[in-house]
Amino acid sequence: MRSRRVKSPVNPTIVDAASLFDLSELMEEQAGSKITIDYGKFRERLDSLRQSRGWGKGSPNTILLSIDKNSEGQQRFLVMLRRSEFELDCIDFRETYVSLPPGRNPNEFYGASTRDKPVKAIKSLAPRVTYIAGLMARFEDPRLLVVSHSFDLYGPLTDLSRRIVSGKGKVGIAYFGSLLDYRWKLHGLFDEEIRKGLGIEFFDLDPYSDELLGVNLASRARPAPDGGSALSRF
């Protein structure tokens, strides 16, 4: 017999800090100047967007971090995040690197890295977010908002949306629409009718990019696939 699910005691906003860090690095390369994310304003904006759609404030507002605990600079960063009223979930940075193909030596991928042309190891916090989504499936009415560009979350989040009680729980992605993994667009996240079928709400942060990043992304083109142009007409 299927157990009866109960009301969710939490309605979290989960922020993928690795995704935001990579975003800020990209913006710095393109703008030629340092990008500083105001995490206090970021949390307030996310709460405001949640409330505008009847979600209520994030409870808790949690930020996932890939951290070197021996770094004094990163410890100061954690203090700032706490002051911005985020709850911290810290993972050792070594555990967040994406696995290489079986039997591959890291030197094959990163050995050619130079100061002028660095080859950056890819980190992902998507498995942690997926685990949290799985925990939310125990409840009938969670309101889970995830801040990440990662398409790795598509399957877990659409599955969660199917499991929660219709009309009670909510699942959403909040990110800068112009910088999302293009596969979100291919699967209809930007199309209101298709999005209803996915069961995922989208909170586009592009209109607030100047406030949050100091860079205006409002006119930036939506992500498009690099290949597959022959299929784009269908």
Over residues 30-57, the mean pLDDT reads 92
Does any domain span residue 27?
yes
Does any domain span residue 230?
no
Closest by CA to 14, choosing from 129, 130, 143, is: 129
Does any domain span residue 135?
yes
Range of the domain at 130: 13-98+120-213
Does any domain span residue 108?
no
Residue 188 backbone class (left: φ over 0; alpha: ψ -120 to 50; beta: rest): left
| Tokens describing residue 90 | 């810290």
Does any domain span residue 165?
yes
Phi, psi of 92 (to 5 degrees): -55, 130
How many distinct structural domains can be found in the chain? Answer: 1
Q: According to the model, what pLDDT value does residue 233 have?
A: 31
Q: Mind listing the pLDDT tens digit for each residue in 66-86?
A: 999 999 999 999 999 999 999
Over residues 107-125, the mean pLDDT reads 70
Does any domain span residue 45?
yes
pLDDT confidence band for 165 (50 / 70 / 90): confident
Q: Encode 19-36: b = buried (16+ Cβ within 10 Å), e = exposed.
A: bbebbbeebeeeeeeebe
C-alpha span between 142 and 9 (Å, rounded): 8
Closest by CA to 82, choosing from 107, 62, 99, 68, is: 62
Tell me 11's DSSP state.
B
Does any domain span residue 31?
yes
Q: Domain of 164: which CATH number?
A: 3.40.50.1010
pTM of this structure? 0.86
Is the pLDDT higher at 179 or at 114? Answer: 179
DSSP E strands, 116-162: 143-147
Q: How many CB atoms lie within 10 A of CB 105?
A: 9
Does any domain span residue 162?
yes
C-alpha span between 18 and 113 (Å, rounded): 21
Indicate the helix (H) or strand (E) that contains 109.
helix 106-110
pLDDT confidence band for 230 (50 / 70 / 90): very low
